Amino acid sequence: MPAGDPPLTLRDLHAIDVARLRGVGDKRRAALAALGIDSVADLLSHYPRRYIDRRRQESIDALAIGDEATVFGEIRAISARRTRNRRSLVTATLGDGTGRLRLTFFNQPWRERQLPVGTRVVVFGRVETYRGQRQMTNPVVDLVGDRTGRIVAVYPQSDKAGVHSWDIAALVEEALARCRPRGLADPVPEAVRRRLDLVDRQWAIERIHRPATMGEVGDARRRLVFDELLRVQLELVRRKRRLEREVEGIEHRIDGPLLAAFLERLPFELTGAQRRAVDEILADLAAPHPMHRLLQGDVGAGKTLVAIAALLAAVDGGHQGALMAPTEVLAEQHHLGVRELLDGLEVADPGTLMGTRPLQVALLTNAVPTAERRRVLGEMATGRVDLVIGTHALIQEAVEFRDLGAVVIDEQHRFGVEQRAALRDKGDAAPDVLVMTATPIPRSAAMTVYGDLDQSVLDELPPGRTPIETRRVSRAEESTVWDDVRAAVAAGRQAYVVCPLIGDGKAESGDDPDGDDLASAVATHERLATGELAELRLGLLHGRLGPADKEATMEMFRLGHLDVLVATTVVEVGVDVPNATVMVILDADRFGIAQLHQLRGRVGRGRHASRCWLVADPTTPDGDRRLDALVASTDGFELAEIDLELRGEGTIMGERQKGRSDLKLASLRRDRDTVVTARRVAVEIIDDDPELERHPDLADELTVALGDEDAEFLLKG
């Protein structure tokens, strides 16, 4: 890489195959690919996962029993044998000049080949004692080679692929040396770097891999985290501004009689948060560009009322509204609730004698009988249907609107990008879109995952909602739970019993049920109906039931003809039966925090005291922490932060897109403040230079980092 050429950009580094480095033949190239390293850019962003400060490393002679410690040393002896029960046992001796530590590996026979005498390693584990000698059992091992630096970088490695920390360190060192003559381009404006006191990129890349002090690691990381988050925010803000600038929307009438009549006849006051959200949405509807807003709120915060206000504003101006829900049960529930709330409202119709007609609210799902479906489709096409509520049936090819003006997508994370885009494309002009989620999202994640949407948050509950008491019990204590269910029913109340899906976090839909889950719900229903709850009236609800059976079961439960509903997570969102006061969740540790919080929110919807029972014997510390968090808090936003802490951002980042899930160094938990800073800088840059024409290096970096396919994916979202 000759000096005199311009500095190397991210695109240049991606174009240099890692095979151009010394010692990388076909076999090593394939091994690196298994770690996601194909180019020099991949190599330089394969950041150390920790560092050993050799000036402060713990010496073997200072280790105390019970300590969790990191020790740097050399393998002095190693042996392997089989135990009496045929398990493999590898024993090594680690020395560091101050003493010796025994390392014991069960069922890891390959350690004998990995750790020949003389190998320099870093081990991390708990110090125990065995026959008077200190030892670690199955410690984490990193091969670091004969690194003489004061700070030793330890890289993510692959024992399976045969690529170890010291291999990566050697390749990184060579790559950095070969980049130095040209240097690395820094696309972030110098004024921004100065204002935020950020080091330049060349220094940051060098020091994240070869720091002289731990302070340098901090400065380097701060800069590289900012780069990752700025790229994300620039793309989001650029797309948001482009939408506002280029896409023709509908300027809705927001002071119409329909919306005013609806708000006036409500038997209760809107909360302050609801009023604020309605005002934000109405301001969007009045603007000439389409609304693209996320409405998030805790369980029971009143999102549906806010959504109805948005849809009625569209109808006031002579347009139609659509609400798309992820399941037939939820669509039917919405249809019943909305129709009841809007009963008696009228819309202008010059074709009638009185000049008005009743507001028409229709249901469209695959469960609707053929004749009714044909009627609804015809009236949607002529404009006789004002609001339609449905499932993905709304986006089928045969569905036509006369004039679709506003779209609400409920529990939007359950729909694919293509499905959301298909509904939006049903309008002549781009309809206004409101997406709702009852799963609170931490602010840093919302700004990153949904950063191209305006956001409204319902952060207060309507008065009159009773607090829900949450208790956890083991399987052995289950009889207590059934005593409580029987007592609640004797008092005239009802209960849910929810069975888990197989696999944490998966959601059942009516269209794609999980077979194993179905068996567990059926088995639980049968057990309770002939055992603990034999004297009660039990119903069964799951995704494999036919649409008519599902609706009949829900209707019986709503009307109080069933005491207990045994169900899968098909009842997770939207189901509203105020008389239900007990929620029992079996094997609760199999669910994520958000899902548990949603399920709990099915009770406590009336004036009676409610309880949620978490029945589980957790097998992991995280499962334990999830249940403890639910017992300790009913605040969905607080739980969302705990969830982010436990799960990391991978799942959240994966909810909406691919391109933004490549945060290699940035953490939405640790780097909350940097998310806000990156957003502010992105807005400044894009508002001054909408298409980054004066920042060509930055524009090119976005293309390289996201790729055309991901950019297109995001655009549809």
The domain that holds 84 is classified in CATH as: 2.40.50.140
pLDDT at residue 643, as a whole number? 83
Residue 654: count of CB within 10 angstroms of its CB = 12
The model's pLDDT over 662-697, given as tens digits with 9 standing for 90+, comes to 578 888 778 889 999 999 999 999 999 999 999 999
More confident residue, 51 or 224: 224
The token pair at 279 is: 């005002």
Measured distance CA(302)–CA(464) in Å, rounded: 12
With contact defined as beta carbons under 8 Å apart, do 122 and 71 qualify?
A: yes
Ranges 165-179, 182-196, 281-295, 631-645: which has the least confidence:
631-645
Q: How many domains is the chain partitioned into structurally? A: 4
Q: With 50 as the cut, is the pLDDT of residue 211 above it?
A: yes
The model's pLDDT over 62-85, given as tens digits with 9 standing for 90+, comes to 898 988 888 888 999 999 998 888
Report the chain's C-alpha Rg in angstroms.
Answer: 30
Q: Is 134 a member of any domain? A: yes
- 30 and 65 share a domain? no
Q: Nearest to residue 63, comparing CAs of 123, 114, 151?
A: 123
- 482 and 530 share a domain? yes
With contact defined as beta carbons under 8 Å apart, do 232 and 660 qualify?
A: yes
Residue 248: count of CB within 10 angstroms of its CB = 10
Place of tokens 């017992």: 631
Residue 46: count of CB within 10 angstroms of its CB = 20
Mean pLDDT of the chain: 85
Q: Nearest to residue 267, comparing CAs of 404, 464, 526?
A: 464
Q: Is 712 a member of any domain? A: no
Helices (H), 180-271: 190-196, 201-209, 214-246, 257-265
- 36 and 177 share a domain? yes
Q: With 50 as the cut, is the pLDDT of residue 503 above it?
A: no
Q: Is 414 a member of any domain? A: yes
pLDDT at residue 592, as a whole number? 85
- 56 and 145 share a domain? yes
Last residue of a domain, one of 613, 633, 653: 633
The half-sphere exposure of 552 on its side-chain side, counting CA atoms within 13 A, is: 6
- 350 and 332 share a domain? yes
The token pair at 392 is: 């993905």
- 55 and 39 share a domain? no
Measured distance CA(274)–CA(294) in Å, rounded: 14
Q: Is 674 a member of any domain? A: no
- 398 and 272 share a domain? yes
Ranges 97-111, 146-160, 173-187, 446-460: which has the least confidence:
146-160
- 2 and 120 share a domain? no
Q: Is 406 a member of any domain? A: yes
Q: Is 510 a member of any domain? A: yes
Measured distance CA(151)–CA(218) in Å, rounded: 13
Last residue of a domain, one of 437, 459, 486: 437
pLDDT category of residue 417 using cuts at 50, 70 and 90: low
Range of the domain at 530: 468-633
The pLDDT of 549-561, averaged and rounded, is 89
Which residues are 135's β-sheet partners? 102, 128
pLDDT at residue 218, as a whole number? 95
Q: With 90 as the cut, is the pLDDT of residue 537 above it?
A: yes
With contact defined as beta carbons under 8 Å apart, do 423 and 394 qualify?
A: yes
With contact defined as beta carbons under 8 Å apart, do 571 and 580 qualify?
A: no
Q: With 50 as the cut, is the pLDDT of residue 504 above it?
A: no
- 373 and 484 share a domain? no
Q: With 80 as the cut, is the pLDDT of residue 214 above it?
A: yes
- 35 and 56 share a domain? no
Q: Is 382 a member of any domain? A: yes
Which residues are 324's β-sheet partners? 390, 409
Last residue of a domain, one of 633, 648, 663: 633
Measured distance CA(27)–CA(5) in Å, rounded: 32
Measured distance CA(114)–CA(121) in Å, rounded: 10
Q: Nearest to residue 601, comparing CAs of 466, 480, 464?
A: 466
CATH code at position 331: 3.40.50.300
Q: Is 473 a member of any domain? A: yes
Task: Give the contacts of 535 (CB within 8 A, at least 6 positions apart).
Answer: 486
Helices 672-688 and 214-246 cross at an angle (nearest 10°) of 50
- 432 and 479 share a domain? no
At residue 89, what are phi and psi to the nearest 5 degrees?
-135, 120
- 369 and 390 share a domain? yes
